Amino acid sequence: MAEIIEMPKLSDTMSTGTLIKWLKKEGDKVAAGDMIAEVETDKATMEVENFEDGVLLKIYAQEGASVPVGGPICAVGEKGEDAPEVDAPDSGDSGSDKDESSKDEEKEEKDEDESKSKGKAEKSQPKKEESDESDESDKSDDSEKSDSSGDDDSGERIKASPLARRMAKDQGLDLSAIKGTGPNGRVIKNDVLKAVEAGTAKKGSASKDSSSAAPAAASAGTAVAGLEDKEIKVSNMRAAIARALVSSKTEAPHFYLQIEVDGAPLAKLRKTLNDKLAGLAPEQGGVKFTVNDLILKAAAEAVRRVPAINRSWKGDKIVQYGQVHLAFGVAVDDGLLTPVIRQADGKGLRQIAAEAKDLIGKARGKKLKPDEMSGSTLTVTNLGMFGISDFYGIINPPNAAILSVGATVKQPVVNEKDEITIGYRMKIGLSGDHRVIDGAVGAQYLSALKEILENPALMLV
């Protein structure tokens, strides 16, 4: 008997998922453990696993569809078996937009059919009646022809629904450049939306209507090639990021501290380790460390010295954690993910580096699991690789603090002998939740972190 595969709950806060891409198609053989689709949740884009052996009989949710948790997305069964009938999920448009657009399109189709029927009826009327109607029909034709979005350069009428025609006019699109997918090649709403999204079908600046205005436009400055106005649909993940950060910024009273660190010892240690280990095979202990690996290890080690930084606000109580679950930022196409290294305070540099590399790969490959992105107690974000020298991150709830690591910058410094020499300086910022920790705790933690980074051998014992 065919089994219906439902939208899984891929995160604690997930209520709906957007089906981004099917990895299998109808008729394909599938086995338990196969990944069959990519779904965007409020956390990230993840793959949906199949748990049945058989054939993908039917796909219920098309790409772009928004499906509630527990809603049907496909059916798997034996070859030749009939798939169960279910209600189709909503499309990627919001419900109200979908309903309104559907009504508009249905009305347009109905109006067009009625118009054709009326035209046939008018032809069958006596000559006088035809003459009486001619003035109004001529006015209507002239009115429609005056809309340049409805005619191509040759003056030939373009088949398009009134809604599509109006949308094309509002967006400044050339209807003749839009391929219609409606009946008899008619341009409909979805065709215009696709053209808007693709940035195609823009009206040429050399059109007759706009030729007289060209000099004025040129004098005011022309658009840079490759740049254009567009609207980007808010993804589930981006919406979740927005909600979390707005909540953090408005609910948690942020305070900010910064400390400058001598980055030379850390750079020297990294070079020494990589010179000895990077060239070896993995089975011989070969590994290559990044600056971020060393900072993550140091951040976890510093918590041992100032455990009060490792806290969360719980309304009527403050929780201080006995282990450091260290989150770190990974930039992806649609935002920032924060995978978590569990019990980082009890792990060595080599293990932290290996786990960080694995989590980064999963994040960029859309393979992170919900439990790999939750439960952090402290977060590190690093923009040094982009040349940013100093900044302050927004606290990642429910953490009490987030570290913001800048680039190591080569600059003149004054040494202990009051001599001006060339130094390597790194700025590290801390954003703290004043409900949970005070400035003194933040300062103590940054001081401990500075000592470890300037004497990095301390993190190896």
- The whole-number pLDDT of residue 132 equals 40
Catalytically annotated residue among 98, 202, 367, 434: 434
> How far is residue 6's CA from residue 58's CA, in Å, rounded to a whole number?
13
> How far is residue 192's CA from residue 178's CA, in Å, rounded to a whole number?
7
178-226 pLDDT, tens digit each? 888 877 778 888 888 888 777 766 654 333 344 444 444 444 455 566 7
325 is catalytic: no
CATH homologous superfamily for the domain 147-233? E3-binding domain (4.10.320.10)
295-309 pLDDT, tens digit each? 999 999 999 999 999
> How far is residue 100's CA from residue 35's CA, in Å, rounded to a whole number?
35
Contacts of 437 (CB under 8 A, 6+ apart): 308, 309, 311, 400, 401
> How far is residue 336's CA from residue 404's CA, in Å, rounded to a whole number?
14
AA identity, residue 435: R
Question: 3-77: which CATH number, 3.40.50.740, 3.40.50.1980, 1.10.3080.10, 2.40.50.100?
Answer: 2.40.50.100
Q: Measuring CA to CA, which residue among 94, 431, 89 is closest to residue 239? A: 94
Burial label for 50, CB within 10 Å (0-12, 13-18, 19+), is buried
- The whole-number pLDDT of residue 202 equals 66
Residue ranges of the chain that CATH labels 3.30.559.10? 236-460
Angle at 389 between CA 385 and CA 391, to 5 degrees: 100
Q: Which residues of the chain have pLDDT under 50?
A: 91-103, 105-106, 113, 115-116, 118-149, 153-154, 204-220
> How far is residue 300's CA from residue 307's CA, in Å, rounded to a whole number?
10
* C-alpha distance from residue 278 to each of 90, 284, 349, 354, 448 (Å): 51, 10, 14, 13, 29
Beta bridge partners of 77: 55
Burial label for 191, CB within 10 Å (0-12, 13-18, 19+), is buried
C-beta pairs of 264-267 under 8 Å, 24+ apart in sequence: 264/423, 264/424, 265/453, 265/454, 265/455, 265/456, 266/291, 266/294, 266/295, 266/408, 266/426, 266/453, 266/454, 266/456, 267/291, 267/408, 267/424
* Distance, first Cα to last Cα, the chain: 60
Residue ranges of the chain that CATH labels 2.40.50.100? 3-77
In the three-class reduction of DSSP (H, G, I as helix; E, B as strand; rest coil), residue 262 is classed as strand
> How far is residue 202's CA from residue 232's CA, in Å, rounded to a whole number?
18
Instruction: Show the tokens assigned to 201.
Output: 């079908």
In the three-class reduction of DSSP (H, G, I as helix; E, B as strand; rest coil), residue 371 is classed as helix
**Chain position carrying tokens 């001599």:** 419
Q: Measuring CA to CA, which residue among 199, 117, 190 is closest to residue 160? A: 190
- The whole-number pLDDT of residue 26 equals 92
Q: Measuring CA to CA, which residue among 151, 197, 141, 154 is closest to residue 174? A: 151
Q: Which fold has domain 236-460?
A: Chloramphenicol Acetyltransferase (3.30.559)
**Buried/exposed code over 235-269 (b: 16+ C-beta within 10 A; e: otherwise):** bbbeebbeebbeebeeebebbebebebbbbebbeb
- Establish whether the linkage from the previous residue to 398 is cis, with ω within 30° of 0: yes
Residue ranges of the chain that CATH labels 4.10.320.10? 147-233
* DSSP class per residue in 40-55: E-SS-EEEEEP---EE
Contact between 344 and 459 under an 8 Å Cβ cutoff? The reply is no
CA 261 to chain centre: 34
> How far is residue 207's CA from residue 214's CA, in Å, rounded to a whole number?
10
Contact between 14 and 42 under an 8 Å Cβ cutoff? The reply is yes
- The whole-number pLDDT of residue 294 equals 96
> How far is residue 191's CA from residue 180's CA, in Å, rounded to a whole number?
6
**Chain position carrying tokens 């001619």:** 134
In the three-class reduction of DSSP (H, G, I as helix; E, B as strand; rest coil), residue 34 is classed as coil
In the three-class reduction of DSSP (H, G, I as helix; E, B as strand; rest coil), residue 170 is classed as helix
